[in-house]
Amino acid sequence: MSGIQLRGARTLFYKEVLRFWKVSFQTVAAPVLTAVLYLLIFGNALENHVKVYGVVGYTSFLIPGLVMMSVLQNSFANSSSSLTQSKVTGNLVFLLVTPLSHWAWFLAYVGASMVRGLTVGLGVVTVTCFFAPLGLAQPLWILLFAIIGSAMMGALGLIAGLWAEKFDQLAGFQNFIIMPMTFLSGVFYSVHSLPPFWLGFSHLNPFFYIIDGFRHGFFGVSDVSPWLSLSVAGSSLLLVAGIALELLRRGYKIRN
């Protein structure tokens, strides 16, 4: 991209970060509180009844899942809600008259989504680490899957925001696609505890590989190989990013 495009992308990125940060009590603090409530409820109920990987306590096992769940959901929410809001209120026209390329749009929206998702994830780690011991077996895996997961969901949020013409449609996308995939990804359990049918179904869910690889970075053990998780997560990111870029290039539902 040219220097003008980069400056434009940086400005749009700053605007998107400022948009969620001005209401950080709602966009950052509230998701952290939600994750803590999940931890308190499930951790207290199951800590003495469930051991994972033979040696990991249930509360410790639960924390990385809640962290990544928060990263995924908030990265998706940032780009999807911002784009849908701009379409509903009509101020998207001010972006359309700029000379920004589809790459500039993509970098700005996805970059801001990553900032929000990773900020919320860091907040969840900071608060929940006091409830149970949490190791750092391989920190690079943690960072890598956090980046891939937040980028993929930021791009998926762009697709949802471009498709949705009102907030009801966006809510349907979240309720019928994002939430089921999140809760069936092993956030609250090891998939090896599932019956064969649901175990196979979980292995079709890219969210499972992101969460499992992320969890591997804390404990050094996981349900599947972290290299398999990395290949599936990376491929999913490339696919979703490619679709989002193509829709932006065509001006899907924003240029008419």
19, with CB counted inside 10 A (0-12, 13-18, 19+), is middle
Q: How far apart are CA 202 and CA 192, in angstroms?
A: 10
Q: How far apart are CA 153 and CA 117, in angstroms?
A: 9
Q: How far apart are CA 53 and CA 90, in angstroms?
A: 52
Which pTM was predicted? Answer: 0.94
| 74 closest CA partner among 21, 119, 38 | 119
Positive or negative CA dihedral for 213, 242, 113, 2? positive
Q: Are 182 and 207 in contact (CB under 8 A)?
A: yes
Structure letter (DSSP) for residue 187: S
Residues in the chain where the model's pLDDT stays below 50:
none
Q: Are 151 and 72 in contact (CB under 8 A)?
A: no
Structure letter (DSSP) for residue 203: T
pLDDT for the residue numbered 256? 62
Q: Are 217 and 96 in contact (CB under 8 A)?
A: no
Three-point CA angle 153, 57, 198, nearest 5°? 50
pLDDT for the residue numbered 210? 97
**Residue listed under structure tokens 């240029």:** 255
Residue 223, both tokens: 């349900």
**Which tens digits make up the pLDDT trace of 129-166?**
888 888 888 999 999 999 999 999 999 999 999 999 99
Q: What's the Rg (C-alpha) of the chain?
A: 19
Question: Which residues partner with 51 through β-bridges?
Answer: 57
